[in-house]
């Protein structure tokens, strides 16, 4: 009776997201995926840590948006990385705030991201720690093993490294195409395609 | 073709009713350890408790999902109002895979594997090795940090992300370990405030993380 | 293995750096250059603080696999880069060029090469000169200044008056250079009522501090608190470490006037005996005192000889264009020549030195006993090594100039005298061709936009070259046991596939040349099996995107791929392997038994806009050569097999409307069909293939 296809390693959604069955997603109702995002096995996303204080202009109608982690299109979350919303004391009360990732964000293996905002076309290496409420703008590369301290702002076209991270270089004009993750998206999933030469 | 509007994550590919998490099963290897839980502590359902020795979690402490408490090297004690984040491991094996046993103290009592004081935070993916390891009150063990077997970390210390404390090392109170092993003293004098903030955070976490201590008892 | 890093010399943070990167799947590349990317970053050279991260901290394997690389040489490193033109594409010209190239084979190991080789991403392309431009040869112009922390643009007029640091509230930690946040100081709560609701914390009654959320430093450690949470820079300028207020320039002037009126005499009077010579002056006061002291002297002297002894004008006369200064400088060079003897008498007489603190005299404090006591006190009170209370060289270096406001004599030695570091501004810059002055890169001037108005990058004009070792099961001999992966065995032929991907919308003819043996200490024999080939044009991007979308939406994609995809070379998956396919074999699914090795003169594989060919290398034995040549042991990175290769690409392009400038590296085709013209571009590049094993 069941015409279920054989279970693949990934759950592939209508919007093209590829979510590994071995990924740990807590509080899925608060996790928004923009589409065509890859979540590899052993990735952990803490959607359950939603904000407890409603945003300032939530009274202006519309359903209460309780998104804890918002991820754009063509993001790639490598094995073992962890996304969790940042938390802080606000007017004497502790609250979590949403974590937002733009499009084409690569998160390396074993990396922990607690940023407030990651822009578009950002490459975060492996074993990186992005501190709470950090803001990373577009076209930024965070090298492996970096510790981006809490509240740090990283401007566009920066290359950062170190503990704590500092800007150590600039992305050259010719280097911005390499942030594109469309090709990488195709190489994973239940029907992975070989990489073009 | 994909739509431009973001969509929530599929709770389950085939499930009939909506689940709120995708939590692949984890093999609960080894024996179920004897536990002593305070009635006010929060222990996530998907936390991992293993080992033959007692695991004690005191008043109002929070154990996040996928945190590991291993009592293979001895007793694991979590003080009051501690937070153990996801993927953190208390009582971990050392890098060679050995679980050290704590040497007995002067009165001959076992030191246990790991002892956390009150208000300790063990961040995501931090490893506190087994073997009489002590973390003092109010100390934060940063993301991905490893505390070696038998190390004694003082009170109100901050071990920043990806740092290491060698086995058997004694870290004085208020020490900050940063920038790959540089050390300094925290002179802000805000330990009380930090404890207060920790209490507030726990207040929020207790409402967010469904506790299931019965699973481990 | 970290040495000999060939780095673009354009950014101080990158020179001698040992930055590594894993090409984690996305193919993103960072100029660690030369050495293989290690799965770890490492300390940049210009870091202000120790960054002692080692790969071993992060990974158990100290040596990561080698990532092959291609670096391209910018023509600016040629001896006369702008006068020598690539010869015409005539048969004669070609042969002449070939001869030239034979005469000076490019040596990638030459010291000079370190400054001319770049990965493709770092290169620009001038459309007017039809030439590659590198970060070293382009002229940069600043489009705007901005603070990397608050991302506010700073007008260039402010740079002149305020300096190149953020004057808002953006500071870096003097201890760890992490960002500092402005925090409200809260009173410690009653420990027994930690959970009781309290609203006292929300009412901002007290003051604010700068604190580092990475290393937990706080400005209270240097005794500084602020009254309001904004314009910290201004507040900090008025505060000395310890909380003492510092005089503003205006206040200082007023105070001086007061002193002058009290003292009765002018600033030019001789040092009064009653003044305490040990009076400590801060840097600004001393400077102000010295300035007015010398101004007064100058005005006194000039007042006798000149009309209107305006002090400020006198100071202005110190400029080199002033006649007085000129004569002074001239006399320096000519000595007491008779020519100037007469004049020197009319010059301001002997200038007196400052004799009192009011004149700017500051005695050097050579007594270090207070510093020693401070060290001892630190040890006795905290029980810590006193060393941790002293500032490191890097911490001192990262201090902003003049903000230290420390005692002038004897550098500040303690972390307690460090100051928060206002963020250095960053810039957006446009680039110009060094030869024709045309702009080749221009970002949008708005700080937060990432678009470019002009962006002529070499990657859009010249083919990318990717390298992969060729291993055919059954044909390639199995590697020696105990050999690290991805190393090349010496004295044995190894084959590599070079894939050339064409970025332009015309098909391109490629001619490759390489010396038969590589230059340098360990010569390797090199053979390009197919030195001449064509790459098909890059088709429309939209066409490709549409195809891809269809492919991903179809569920039978996997089957499509494994079977034939229709006409060869049409789709993204369609590829033709010329060397390996026997006639009659359909599609790409050739059986292993039918695999043949690469053939001479034939391309290896070809696709929509790419062609791959095979080169064969026979590396020398490192160990044997090192034994024989007596030039010592094998140095770092000398085991990397690098091959210089000369690439010439030719294509036909739409002729521009206006007449082509003479002397460009393009000539009108003989038969002008459809306004096409022949173009060519030739350059050296170096291929880093891998590490040669240190076996015999």
**Got the DSSP string for A91-104?**
TTEEEE--EEE-SS
Q: Which residues of B touch A134 (CB under 8 A)?
A: none
Name the residue among A4, A71, A129 with its Cβ closest to that of B162: A129
| Helix (H) or strand (E) segment spanning residue C421 | strand C421-422
CB contact under 8 Å between B182 and C57, yes or no, is: no
End-to-end Cα spacing for chain C: 20
Counting as contact any 3 or more CB pairs under 8 A, the partners of A are: B, C
pTM comes to 0.80
How confident is the model over C446-450, as a mean pLDDT?
A: 93
Domain count, chain A: 1
Strand pairing partners for A26? A46, B21
Tell me what pLDDT residue A16 has: 94
Say whether C547 sits in a helix, a strand or coil: helix
CB contact under 8 Å between C188 and B192, yes or no, is: yes
Strand pairing partners for A70? A32, A100
Question: What percentage of chain B reaches a pLDDT higher than 70?
Answer: 86
Residue C479 pLDDT class (50, 70, 90 cuts): confident
Residue A38 pLDDT class (50, 70, 90 cuts): very high
Tell me what pLDDT residue C656 has: 64
Residue C632 pLDDT class (50, 70, 90 cuts): confident
Say whether C375 sits in a helix, a strand or coil: helix
Say whether C200 sits in a helix, a strand or coil: coil
Look at residue C399 and tell me whether its pLDDT is greater than 50: yes
Would you list the DSSP string of B150-178? Answer: T-EE-TT-EE-TT-EE-TT-EE-TTEEEE
Tell me what pLDDT residue C110 has: 81
Residues 6+ apart with CB under 8 A from C280: C362, C407
Strand pairing partners for C606? C576, C611
Q: Mutating which of B161, B162, B180 best tests the A interface, going by the most A Cβ atoms within 10 A?
A: B161
Query: What is the residue whose two structure tokens read 């002997």?
Result: C350
Q: Which residues of A touch C13 (CB under 8 A)?
A: 167-169
Tokens found for residue C149: 């922390």
The interface predicted TM-score of the complex, written ipTM, equals: 0.91
Q: Which of B80-89, C171-180, C281-290 has the lowest mean pLDDT?
A: C281-290
Q: Which of A88-102, C168-182, C343-357 has the lowest mean pLDDT?
A: C343-357
Distance (Å, rounded) from C-alpha C458 to C-alpha C451? Answer: 18
Tell me what pLDDT residue A33 has: 95
Most confident residue range from C346-360, C417-431, C647-661: C417-431
B92: left (phi over 0), alpha (psi -120 to 50) or beta: beta
Residues A104-128 have pLDDT tens digits of: 999 999 999 999 999 999 999 999 9
Most confident residue range from C252-256, C310-314, C360-364, C635-639: C635-639
Strand pairing partners for C615? C496, C528
Q: Closest Cα partner for B153 from B128, B188, B123, B180?
A: B128
Residues 6+ apart with CB under 8 A from C82: C434, C435
Give yes or no for a contact between A46 and B34, defined as CB atoms under 8 angstroms apart.
no
Would you list the DSSP string of B23-38? Answer: -------SPPPPEEE-
| Helix (H) or strand (E) segment spanning residue C510 | strand C508-513
Look at residue A26 and tell me whether its pLDDT is greater than 90: yes
Q: Which of A31-45, C36-50, C198-212, C667-681 has the lowest mean pLDDT?
A: C36-50
Question: What percentage of chain C reaches a pLDDT higher than 70?
Answer: 58
Q: Which of C156-170, C266-280, C421-435, C576-590 has the lowest mean pLDDT?
A: C576-590
Distance (Å, rounded) from C-alpha A91 to C-alpha C201? Answer: 7
Domain range annotation of chain C: 1-59, 65-117+459-548+597-692, 279-359
CB contact under 8 Å between B196 and C189, yes or no, is: yes
Tokens found for residue B158: 């901050």
Whether A5 is covered by a domain: the verdict is no
Query: What is the residue whose two structure tokens read 């993927």?
Result: B87
Cis peptide bond N-terminal to C118, omega within 30: no
Tell me what pLDDT residue B58 has: 95
Q: Which of B62-76, C339-353, C469-483, C609-623 has the lowest mean pLDDT?
A: C339-353
Distance (Å, rounded) from C-alpha B44 to C-alpha A48? Answer: 12
Q: Which of C29-43, C114-128, C484-498, C545-559 has the lowest mean pLDDT?
A: C29-43
Say whether C436 sits in a helix, a strand or coil: coil
Look at residue A2 and tell me whether its pLDDT is greater than 60: no
Tokens found for residue C113: 């090469």
Mean confidence (pLDDT) of chain B: 87
User: How many C-beta neighbours within 10 Å does residue C455 have?
Assistant: 16
Helix axes C323-334, C338-346, angle to 10 degrees: 140
DSSP-based helix, strand, coil % in chain C, nearest 5: 25, 20, 55
Q: Is A109 on the interface with B (CB under 8 A)?
A: no
Most confident residue range from A155-169, C61-75, C178-192: A155-169
Residue C287 pLDDT class (50, 70, 90 cuts): confident
The phi and psi torsions of B203 (rounded to 5 degrees) equal -55, -45
Give yes or no for a contact between C366 and C407, defined as CB atoms under 8 angstroms apart.
no
Most confident residue range from B176-185, C399-408, C672-681: B176-185
Residues 6+ apart with CB under 8 A from B90: B67, B68, B69, B70, B76, B78, B84, B113, B114, B116, B122, B128
CB-based burial of residue C566 (10 Å sphere; 0-12 exposed, 13-18 middle, 19+ buried)?
exposed
Tell me what pLDDT residue C275 has: 55
Distance (Å, rounded) from C-alpha A99 to C-alpha A87? Answer: 10
Distance (Å, rounded) from C-alpha C558 to C-alpha C554? Answer: 9
Q: Mutating which of B4, B5, B22 best tests the A interface, going by the most A Cβ atoms within 10 A?
A: B22
Domains and CATH numbers, chain B: 35-216 (2.160.10.10)
Distance (Å, rounded) from C-alpha C506 to C-alpha B64? Answer: 58
Q: How far is B132 from chain A (nearest CA, A)?
A: 28
State the Cα angle at C626 between C621 and C627, rounded to 5°. Answer: 105
CB contact under 8 Å between C49 and B196, yes or no, is: no
Whether A2 is covered by a domain: the verdict is no
The number of angstroms, rounded, from the C-alpha of C614 to the middle of its chain's C-alpha atoms is 34
DSSP summary character for residue C81: T
Beta strands in A27-104 (DSSP E): 31-35, 38-39, 44-46, 69-73, 76-77, 82-83, 87-90, 93-96, 99-101
Whether A59 is covered by a domain: the verdict is no
Query: What number of residues does chain B have?
Result: 217
Greater confidence (C639 vs A185) lies with A185
Q: How far is A191 from chain B (nearest CA, A)?
A: 17
The phi and psi torsions of B214 (rounded to 5 degrees) equal -60, -30
Residue C474 pLDDT class (50, 70, 90 cuts): confident
Q: Closest Cα partner for B46 from A79, A109, A44?
A: A44
Residues C677-686 have pLDDT tens digits of: 889 999 999 9
Residue C485 pLDDT class (50, 70, 90 cuts): confident
Look at residue A53 and tell me whether its pLDDT is greater than 80: no
Q: In what order do the strands lie in the sheet with B133-135?
A: B35-37, B55-57, B76-78, B114-116, B133-135, B152-153, B170-171
Distance (Å, rounded) from C-alpha A168 to C-alpha A178? Answer: 19
- Residue C3, CB half-sphere, CA atoms under 13 Å: how many? 8
Tell me what pLDDT residue C71 has: 95
Whether A192 is covered by a domain: the verdict is no
Q: How far is A114 from chain B (nearest CA, A)?
A: 10
- Residue B74, CB half-sphere, CA atoms under 13 Å: how many? 23
Q: Is B11 on the interface with A (CB under 8 A)?
A: yes
Distance (Å, rounded) from C-alpha C609 to C-alpha C593? Answer: 29
For strand B21-22 and strand A24-26, is the pairing parallel, antiparallel, or unpaired? antiparallel
Distance (Å, rounded) from C-alpha B144 to C-alpha B160? Answer: 9
Would you list the DSSP string of chain B? Answer: ---SS-EEPPS-SS-SS--SEE-------SPPPPEEE-TT-EEBTT-EEESSS-EEE-TT-EE-TT-EEE-TTS-EEE-TT-EE-TT-EEEE--TTS--PPPPP-TTS----SEEE-TT-EE-TT-EEESSSEEE-TT-EE-TT-EE-TT-EE-TT-EE-TT-EE-TT-EE-TTEEEETTTEEEE--S--HHHHHHHHHHHHHHHHHHS-B-GGGG-
Residues B104-145 have pLDDT tens digits of: 766 666 678 999 999 999 999 999 999 999 999 999 999 999
Tell me what pLDDT residue B102 has: 75
CB contact under 8 Å between A94 and B203, yes or no, is: yes
Whether A172 is covered by a domain: the verdict is yes
Look at residue C4 and tell me whether its pLDDT is greater than 50: no
Q: Mutating which of C44, C198, C576 best tests the A interface, going by the most A Cβ atoms within 10 A?
A: C44
CB pairs under 8 A between A and B: 132
Tell me what pLDDT residue B70 has: 93
Look at residue C126 and tell me whether its pLDDT is greater than 50: yes
Q: Which of C56-60, C435-439, C468-472 has the lowest mean pLDDT?
A: C56-60
Q: Closest Cα partner for C461 from C222, C130, C688?
A: C130
Q: Which residues of C touch A127 (CB under 8 A)?
A: 40, 58
- Residue C495, CB half-sphere, CA atoms under 13 Å: how many? 17
Residues B113-124 have pLDDT tens digits of: 999 999 999 999
Mean confidence (pLDDT) of chain C: 71
Residues 6+ apart with CB under 8 A from B77: B56, B58, B112, B114, B115, B116
Whether A144 is covered by a domain: the verdict is yes
User: How many C-beta neighbours within 10 Å does residue A2 have?
Assistant: 5
Residues C541-572 have pLDDT tens digits of: 666 666 655 544 443 333 333 333 333 333 34
Residues 6+ apart with CB under 8 A from B42: B60, B61, B62, B63, B202, B205, B206, B209, B211
Look at residue C668 and tell me whether its pLDDT is greater than 60: no
């Amino acid at each position: 009776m069941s015409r279920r296809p054989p279970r693949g390693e990934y759950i592939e959604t209508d919007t093209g997201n590829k979510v590994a069955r071995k990924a740990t997603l807590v509080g899925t109702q608060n996790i928004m995926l923009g589409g065509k995002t890859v979540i590899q096995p052993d990735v952990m996303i803490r959607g359950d840590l939603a904000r407890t204080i409603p945003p300032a202009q939530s009274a202006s109608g519309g359903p209460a948006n309780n998104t804890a982690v918002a991820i754009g299109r063509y993001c790639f979350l490598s094995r073992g990385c962890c996304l969790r919303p940042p938390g802080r004391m606000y007017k004497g009360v502790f609250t979590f705030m949403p974590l937002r990732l733009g499009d084409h964000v690569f998160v390396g293996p074993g990396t922990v991201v607690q940023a407030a905002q990651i822009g578009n076309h950002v490459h975060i290496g492996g074993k990186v720690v992005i501190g709470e409420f950090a803001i990373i703008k577009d076209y930024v590369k965070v090298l492996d093993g970096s510790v981006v301290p809490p509240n740090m702002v990283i401007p566009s076209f920066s290359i950062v490294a170190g503990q704590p991270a500092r800007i150590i270089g600039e992305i050259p004009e010719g280097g911005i195409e390499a942030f594109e993750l469309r090709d990488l998206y195709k190489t994973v999933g239940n029907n992975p395609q070989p990489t073009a030469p | 073709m994909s739509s431009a509007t973001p969509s929530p994550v599929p709770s389950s590919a085939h499930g009939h009713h909506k689940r709120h998490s995708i939590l692949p099963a984890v093999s609960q290897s080894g024996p179920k350890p004897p536990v002593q839980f305070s009635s006010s502590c929060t222990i996530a359902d998907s936390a991992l408790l293993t080992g033959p020795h007692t695991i004690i979690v005191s008043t109002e402490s929070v154990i996040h999902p996928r945190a590991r408490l291993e009592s293979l090297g001895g007793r694991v004690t979590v003080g009051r109002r501690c937070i153990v984040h996801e993927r953190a491991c208390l009582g971990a094996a050392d890098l060679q895979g050995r679980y050290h046993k704590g040497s007995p103290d002067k009165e001959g009592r076992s030191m246990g594997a790991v002892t956390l004081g009150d208000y300790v935070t063990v961040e995501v993916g931090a490893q506190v090795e087994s073997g009489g390891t002590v973390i003092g009150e109010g100390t934060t063990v940063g993301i991905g940090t490893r505390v070696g077997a038998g190390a004694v970390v003082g009170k109100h210390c901050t071990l920043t992300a990806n740092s290491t404390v060698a086995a058997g090392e004694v870290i004085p109170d208020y020490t900050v370990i940063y920038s790959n092993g540089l050390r300094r003293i925290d002179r802000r004098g805000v330990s009380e405030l930090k404890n207060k903030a920790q209490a507030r955070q726990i207040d929020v976490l207790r409402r967010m993380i469904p506790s299931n201590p019965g699973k481990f008892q | 293995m970290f040495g000999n890093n060939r780095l673009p010399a354009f950014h101080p943070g990158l020179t001698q750096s040992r930055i590594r990167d894993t090409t984690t799947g996305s193919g993103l590349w960072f100029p660690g250059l030369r050495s293989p990317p290690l799965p770890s970053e490492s300390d940049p050279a210009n870091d202000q603080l120790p960054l002692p991260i080692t790969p071993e901290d992060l990974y158990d394997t100290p040596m990561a696999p080698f990532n092959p690389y291609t670096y391209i040489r910018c023509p600016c490193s040629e001896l006369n880069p702008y006068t020598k033109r690539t010869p015409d594409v005539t048969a004669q010209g070609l042969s002449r060029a070939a001869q030239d190239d034979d005469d000076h084979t490019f040596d990638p190991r030459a010291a000079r090469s370190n400054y001319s080789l770049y990965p493709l991403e770092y290169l620009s392309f001038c459309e007017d000169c039809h030439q590659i431009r590198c970060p070293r040869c382009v002229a940069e112009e600043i489009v705007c200044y901005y603070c990397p922390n608050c991302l506010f643009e700073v007008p260039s007029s402010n740079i002149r008056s305020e300096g190149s640091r953020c004057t808002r509230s953006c500071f870096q930690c003097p201890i760890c250079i992490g960002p500092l946040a402005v925090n409200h100081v809260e009173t410690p709560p009653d420990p027994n009522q930690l959970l009781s609701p309290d609203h006292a914390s929300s009412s901002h009654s007290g003051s604010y501090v700068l604190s580092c959320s990475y290393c937990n430093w706080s400005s209270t450690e240097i005794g500084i608190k602020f009254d309001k949470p904004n314009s910290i820079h201004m507040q900090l300028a008025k505060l000395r470490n310890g909380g003492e207020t510092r005089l503003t320039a205006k206040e200082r002037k007023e105070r001086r006037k007061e002193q002058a009126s009290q003292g009765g005499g002018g600033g030019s009077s001789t040092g009064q005996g009653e003044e305490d010579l040990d009076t400590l002056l801060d840097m600004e006061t001393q400077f102000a005192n010295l300035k007015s002291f010398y101004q007064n002297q100058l005005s006194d002297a000039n007042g006798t000889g000149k009309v209107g002894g305006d002090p400020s004008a006198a100071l202005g006369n110190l400029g080199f264009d002033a006649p007085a200064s000129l004569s002074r400088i001239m006399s320096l060079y000519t000595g007491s020549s008779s020519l100037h003897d007469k004049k020197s008498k009319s010059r301001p007489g002997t200038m007196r030195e400052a004799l009192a603190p009011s004149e700017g005299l500051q005695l050097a404090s050579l007594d270090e006993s207070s510093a020693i006591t401070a060290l001892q006190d630190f040890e006795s009170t905290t029980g810590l090594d006193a060393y941790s209370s002293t500032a490191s060289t890097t911490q001192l270096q990262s201090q902003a100039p003049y903000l230290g406001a420390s005692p002038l004599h004897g550098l500040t030695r303690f972390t307690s005298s460090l100051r928060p570091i206002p963020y250095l501004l960053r810039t957006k810059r446009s680039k110009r061709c060094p030869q024709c002055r045309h702009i080749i890169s221009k970002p949008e001037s708005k700080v937060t936009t990432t678009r470019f108005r002009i962006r002529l990058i070499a990657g859009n004009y010249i083919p990318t070259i990717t390298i992969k070792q060729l291993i055919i099961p059954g044909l390639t001999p199995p590697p020696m046991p105990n050999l690290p992966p991805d190393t090349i065995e010496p004295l044995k032929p190894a084959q590599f596939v070079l894939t050339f991907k064409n970025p332009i919308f015309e098909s391109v003819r490629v001619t490759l040349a390489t010396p038969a043996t590589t230059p340098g200490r360990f010569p390797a024999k090199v053979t390009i099996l197919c030195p001449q080939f064509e790459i098909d044009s890059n088709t429309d991007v939209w066409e490709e995107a549409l195809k891809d979308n269809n492919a991903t939406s179809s569920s039978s994609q996997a089957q499509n791929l494994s079977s034939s995809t229709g006409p060869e070379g049409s789709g993204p998956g369609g590829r033709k392997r010329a060397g390996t396919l026997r006639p009659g074999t359909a599609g790409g699914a050739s059986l292993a038994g039918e695999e043949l090795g690469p053939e001479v003169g034939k391309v290896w594989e070809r696709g929509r806009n790419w062609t791959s060919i095979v080169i064969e290398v026979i590396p020398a034995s490192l160990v044997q050569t090192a034994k024989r040549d007596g030039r010592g042991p094998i140095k770092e990175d000398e085991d990397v097999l690098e091959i210089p290769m000369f690439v010439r690409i030719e294509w036909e392009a739409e002729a521009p409307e206006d007449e082509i400038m003479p002397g460009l590296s393009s000539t009108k085709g003989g038969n002008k069909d459809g306004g096409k013209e022949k173009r060519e571009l030739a350059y050296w590049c170096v291929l880093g293939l891998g590490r040669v094993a240190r076996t015999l």
